Structure 1
Amino acid sequence: MAVLLREAIGGSLRRARTARRRTLREVSRQARVSLGYLSEVERGVKEASSELLASICEALDISLPDLLTSAAEEMAQSMRPQMIVPIGQRHADLRIAGSSSALVSPPPVTAPASPVASAA
């Protein structure tokens, strides 16, 4: 499932804050935002205005573009396929819209064993 923008921004803010060993209380005081609201922004519950994000970034000594780049990278990562299957083991599980039956491709065919010479 794709990450929402507010969740990606919140996660990026929390990682930046914890990497700098700053507490929510310190950052909220410096950014002039309530501790509870900052916590909600970090958890992706609230969507912060650009002015508030700029203030939080200033308190964390990071640039707003860097924050947004980090959030965009997190969103892009969440949209990539989660499972990597080796080529020889791939199969399809397709469903026709409105149908509950799956169209499953057959397993890969393996090469026959080499013939063994028999003594005559």
Structure 2
Amino acid sequence: MDDRMQHAADQQFFSRLASANDSFASGLPSTLARLGQLGGELDPAAPNAAAAELQAMLHTVAGSAVTFGYRGLGQHARALEQRLRVLMTFDAVAHADWSIWLGELGEFVEAGRRDPRALG
């Protein structure tokens, strides 16, 4: 591949990456809103589909956020996802443990709404 072809390929790659970054950033408010909504729907007495969707969304946010320069947001999402996975593993989890996790999810959503790049 000659230098011109390599340069064109690099430009295309970085253009696609910038587009994906813009798409992530513009979708973040609705993603955070959905996370908050799901947190409100989660029944600690019987975690349901809301818990599974929360886990999937947090997993996606964790990976995407780090890729697109939102390192703190991604790290927090990963920690929430991992703790949710632990909570979902047990047959019986104290209501207080769910309440703590839901409170942390709420704080994450609010901090992300204020300034998703400031999380750290």
- TM-score class, shorter-chain normalisation, is under 0.3
TM-score (norm 2): 0.27
TM-score (norm 1): 0.27
Higher strand share: 1
Higher helix share: 2
Compare CA radii of gyration and give the structure with the larger one.
1
